[in-house]
Amino acid sequence: MELKDILIIGLGLLGWTWGIVQFFINRRNQKRDKALEKRFEIYTAFMKKADEVTQKLRTDPNAIYGISTEFMQKMLTGDEKIINDALLDFNSQLLEFTKNATQPLTILTSELNNLRLVCSDKLLPKIDRYRDLSYDYINEFQLVLGSLTKSNDLNDTIKKLETIGHDQRGIEMGQVYMEIQKMMRDEIGYYKR
């Protein structure tokens, strides 16, 4: 074999080796890009749901006042039939109010489960903390509404309902949410390009 043949065989093997290396690099990059696109889709869906939840929670902040005012007006009539009807109506309206108030957070916590599947190990503790705070909010809300049947003072219960979410937990939920949002942007790397 001549030197020329050895060089041709060497260049051929080098070319094939380089082609195989490029194939695996390209494949790895495609997998990474596909995973990044999936993360982007799930993060975007979460952000949309979070915006919807915020809108739903703000749509009728005085709904409980309307329910209780109407109830009190009927209670003051003194007619037993009207009072019984008012109690039934009040319970059904209160159940609907509870459902409408807690449903958005329940939806958001299910979206958090989707996030847990694709997020990084760094983001996972923040998502878990936000989910725990959401569950705590829902539980407190249900406890306050459950106390309606035990409490004789409707104004006290209304004051408790007003203060839900305005305590330290509400502040922490906002801070954790902002941290999650920042970490999601960092993971996607949109601003780094």
CA neighbor of 140 nearest in space, from 95, 110, 85, 101 = 101
Distances (CA, A) of 63 to 53, 94, 136, 163: 16, 10, 22, 15
User: pTM value?
Assistant: 0.62
181 vs 176: CA distance, rounded Å: 9
- How do the pLDDT tens digits run along the chain, 193 residues long? 788 888 889 989 999 999 999 999 999 989 888 888 888 888 888 888 877 776 766 555 555 555 556 666 666 666 777 777 777 777 777 767 766 766 777 777 778 888 888 888 898 999 899 888 888 877 777 776 666 655 555 566 566 655 655 567 778 888 888 898 888 888 887 555 5
43 vs 184: CA distance, rounded Å: 7
Question: Within a 10 A sphere around the Cβ of 105, how many other Cβ atoms?
Answer: 18
CB 164 within 8 A of CB 141: yes
CA neighbor of 116 nearest in space, from 157, 108, 24 = 108
Predicted local distance difference test score (pLDDT) of residue 57: 61
Question: Within a 10 A sphere around the Cβ of 164, how many other Cβ atoms?
Answer: 17
123 phi, psi to nearest 5 deg = -85, -25
42 vs 44: CA distance, rounded Å: 5
CB 108 within 8 A of CB 134: yes
Predicted local distance difference test score (pLDDT) of residue 151: 52
Q: What is the 3-state secondary structure (H, E, C) of 58-72?
A: HHCCCHHHHHHHHHH
Predicted local distance difference test score (pLDDT) of residue 156: 63
